[in-house]
Amino acid sequence: MKLLFDLNALRPPRTGIGYYTQHLLQGLRARSDITDVRGWMGGDIYSGERLDELVRDQAPSGDPVLVPHSQALSLSQCLQRSAALQPLRTFFHRRSSRAVRAQSAKEGYVYHETNFAASRYAGPTVATIHDLSHRRHPEFHSKILVQHLDRELPRTFRRVNMVIADSHYTKQEIVDLYDVPEERVTTIHLGVDECFRPLSEVACRAVLSTLDLRQRAFVLSVGTLQPRKNLLRLVEAFAALPRELRREFPLVLIGARGWKTTELASTIAPFISAGEVVTPGYLSRNDLLKLFASAAVFAYPSLYEGFGLPVLEAMASGTAVLTSAASSLPEVSGGAAVEVDPWRIDAIEDGLRRLLTDASLRRQCIERGVAQASKFTWASTIEQTCAVYKKIC
């Protein structure tokens, strides 16, 4: 079996879809029943060792997490991040890949689009749809991006043989919103990277010292800084905690700058000055693993998720989790987290307070979380994905 991928999701900074693509490629390249894997990025074709090098490369973007009233982004950063340019990027990606798609179809490759919108392909095709937030919450996206996805996804559903959804929740969304036959949509959960695991205080000490943090004495939040992640309500809930609790457990926000962060930046400014909110800027993956394993609580009260992998990564790291009782998140957390109504600041505040003041509750969440996270492996994701390929060959 031979496979073809659009590799543009691997461009830095590597986000969730990029890591999904990376893990698929690494697992597929190691299988004996896969005879070749190739892909394109821009006008370049990657296969063999060159593909392996691209997959391994995780060069830092150098992008700050969030700095209130900071310097403007450079023009190149603005161009990279502008959702308004997505249709133009898609056009150039597809034009540059026409030849490799045409040749690969003739040679019998299965094309897997891991990033929503599939290009036209004259062979068996699979697409992974991670969420439908642009339909449920268009206010969280630019109008141009919503229009782009509204145009591209119906085409994708018509073009592909099978659709992969990250969760049962997302599968049902696809069936309900796009009238795709249920038998053409397969749920395949994501896996947790084995590097997410409990770590000793000694192993984490250097990173914590650099950030002036203490082991199990901070609240961690990781995710792209955008309204869908509900960070403004999280900060407001944190602000409602008693001052002594905020000082004992500062809030650490980590994530690439996303969409509509101005209000968040101005809200957290006084808490940064008081040392109660920390925005470390870019952290290497190695350092991030140590923060996951050192936090007292991981807070992820997102308004909408197609899966919510950071919840499992925190659980696998041995950290108690607060998350939303909304969208796919209860499916992922499996009762091992404190689940709250993400629209209610008082509910988020109550969940944080309970976890920070009740050591027994934290231990219970940690034990259940480690067990829950162990159910999600990339080996299983890859095995199930291969079964989809074989089904359409």
74: in domain: no
48 shares a domain with 88: yes
287 vs 283: CA distance, rounded Å: 6
18 shares a domain with 148: yes
248 shares a domain with 361: yes
Backbone torsion region of residue 143, taken as left when φ is above 0, otherwise alpha when ψ lies between -120 and 50, otherwise beta: alpha
Beta strands 110-113 and 185-187: pairing type? unpaired
φ and ψ at residue 198, rounded to 5 degrees: -60, 140
244 shares a domain with 155: no
Q: Which of 190, 164, 170 is nearest to 311 (CA)?
A: 190
104 shares a domain with 53: yes
224: in domain: yes
What tokens appear for 375 in the block?
């159910």
Q: Name the residue range of residue 307's domain.
A: 201-373
- Strand spans (E) along the chain: 2-6, 36-41, 44-47, 110-113, 125-129, 162-165, 185-187, 219-222, 251-254, 277-278, 297-300, 320-324, 338-340
275 shares a domain with 310: yes
264: in domain: yes
306 shares a domain with 182: no
What tokens appear for 161 in the block?
């043989």
255 shares a domain with 168: no
324: in domain: yes
Is the bond preceding 227 in cis, omega lying within 30 degrees of 0? no
What is the edge-to-edge ordering of all strands in the sheet holding 110-113? 44-47, 36-41, 2-6, 110-113, 125-129, 162-165, 185-187
Match 């999280």 to its residue by tokens: 234
387 shares a domain with 358: no
10 shares a domain with 149: yes
Q: Which residues contact 47 (CB under 8 A, 6 or more apart)?
A: 36, 37, 38, 39
**CA dihedral of residues 341, 344, 345, 348 (deg, nearest 10):** -10
Q: Can you give the pLDDT at residue 73?
A: 35
278 vs 349: CA distance, rounded Å: 18
166: in domain: yes
Task: Give me the tens of pLDDT residue by residue for the chain, a chain 393 residues long.
Answer: 999 999 999 988 777 899 999 999 999 999 999 999 999 998 899 999 999 999 987 544 434 344 333 333 333 334 344 555 666 667 677 788 899 999 999 999 999 999 999 999 999 999 999 999 999 999 988 888 899 999 999 999 999 999 999 999 999 999 999 999 999 999 999 999 999 999 999 999 999 999 999 999 999 999 877 788 999 999 999 999 999 999 999 999 997 676 677 888 899 999 999 999 999 977 888 999 999 999 999 999 999 999 999 999 999 999 999 999 999 999 999 999 999 999 999 999 999 999 999 999 999 999 999 999 999 999 999 999 999 999 998
CATH code of residue 9: 3.40.50.2000
Number of domains forming the structure of the chain: 2
CA–chain centroid gap for 350, Å, is 26
152 shares a domain with 18: yes
φ and ψ at residue 249, rounded to 5 degrees: -130, 75
46, 40 contact by CB (below 8 A): yes
11: in domain: yes
Strand partners, 162: 126
Per-residue 3-state assignment (H helix, E strand, C coil) for 122-142? CCCEEEEECCCHHHHCHHHCC
**CA dihedral of residues 332, 365, 18, 211 (deg, nearest 10):** 160
152 vs 168: CA distance, rounded Å: 22
Q: What is the DSSP track for 26-38?
A: HHHHT-TT--EEE
Q: Can you give the pLDDT at residue 259?
A: 65
68: in domain: no
288 shares a domain with 255: yes
